[in-house]
Amino acid sequence: MLLRLALGTWLATASADLVTTYDVAAHYTQPRFTTTGQFQVLNEANPYLHPLQSQPALLVSALAAQDAAEVWAVQRFVAPRHPKWAIAAYIAGALMNGWLAAHNVQHMRQLDAMTVRGPVFVPR
């Protein structure tokens, strides 16, 4: 029962991470002129996934495949013999995915707050 609860928690936070990652990749990768007088952009920090940043659906698909592989590995190799370790793995994954989703939301809010609205004159 606890294993299913931990897995459900992990799945919920993984979904939140995927949704916020898609939002960042789809709407925040173009340079925005900010109140600091600079252009700012949000980029994927993972060097393996950075090349997929321009294709949000492909980026999220790669992350979902990675998540599926993680669940499969824990269910296949850890859970049958060590259910407590599997619960710990899912809780750790849920904490990490929750932090990543909150991190994405925080950066989107910061960039939204700094973005200059309306026409912008950029001197050459």
Of the ranges 36-45, 57-66, 73-82, 99-108, which one carries the lowest mean pLDDT score? 36-45
User: How high is the pLDDT of residue 14?
Assistant: 98
CA distance 16 to 103: 11
Does pTM surpass 0.85? yes
**71-83, pLDDT tens digit by residue?**
999 999 999 999 9
Query: For residue 91, is pLDDT > 80?
Result: yes
